[in-house]
Amino acid sequence: MMKNRIVLGIFLTMLMVVTSCSSDDNNGIIIDTANIQQISNTVKSGTWRITSFIDSGKNETSNFTGYSFSFNDNSILTASNSSNTVNGTWSITDDSSNSSNDVDFNIVFTSPNNFEELSEDWDIVSINNTKIDLIDVSGGNGGTDTLTFEKN
């Protein structure tokens, strides 16, 4: 009888621990069209850096080392380091035609070449107050690109 109570106590304690824990993304934003404004506000708060950019299997993160990205009002995107500033545009849009993700994170740079590689209508994999994970599967060659921003 005492053994059953100990086992039950351990089980209940473990159950409480498991149910009270959340995923690593405990402050994540639900990615759907109802939350576009919340996603936009999160992106506009502070500056961001690219911590990973994989272009069809090739790690190109180093092309953006030292750059801080600011997602500003009026769709203005600025990437700057100690000697250069590159301007682009960004938006978050409803893409109901895509059944796997109704929200696109759009980035457009017209130059220089390494920044043009970021120009895509990315799907948001996950987003929280400190990290944005994006993915794009090319319609042409089927290559997969991934992009991660982390807050400075």
The per-residue pLDDT for range 6-25, each reduced to its tens digit, is: 433 443 333 333 333 333 44
- Strand, helix or coil for residue 48: strand
Cα-based torsion angle of the residue sequence 78, 79, 81, 86 in order, rounded to the nearest 10 degrees: -80
Supply the pLDDT for residue 99.
52
Which amino acid appears at position 35 of this protein?
N
Return the structure tokens found at 75: 């769709």
The per-residue pLDDT for range 22-81, each reduced to its tens digit, is: 334 445 777 777 788 999 999 999 999 999 999 989 999 999 999 999 999 999 999 999
CA–CA separation, 105 vs 42, rounded Å?
13
What residue ranges do the domains of the chain occupy? 33-151
Supply the pLDDT for residue 33.
73
> 33-151 — its CATH code?
2.40.128.270
Cβ 36 vs Cβ 44: under 8 Å: no
CA–CA separation, 88 vs 82, rounded Å?
18
Bridge partner residues of 76 (DSSP) = 89
pLDDT of 138 > 90? The answer is: no
Supply the pLDDT for residue 97.
63
pLDDT of 130 > 50? The answer is: yes
CA–CA separation, 25 vs 138, rounded Å?
27
Supply the pLDDT for residue 96.
66
The conformation of residue 47, written as its DSSP 8-state character, comes to: -
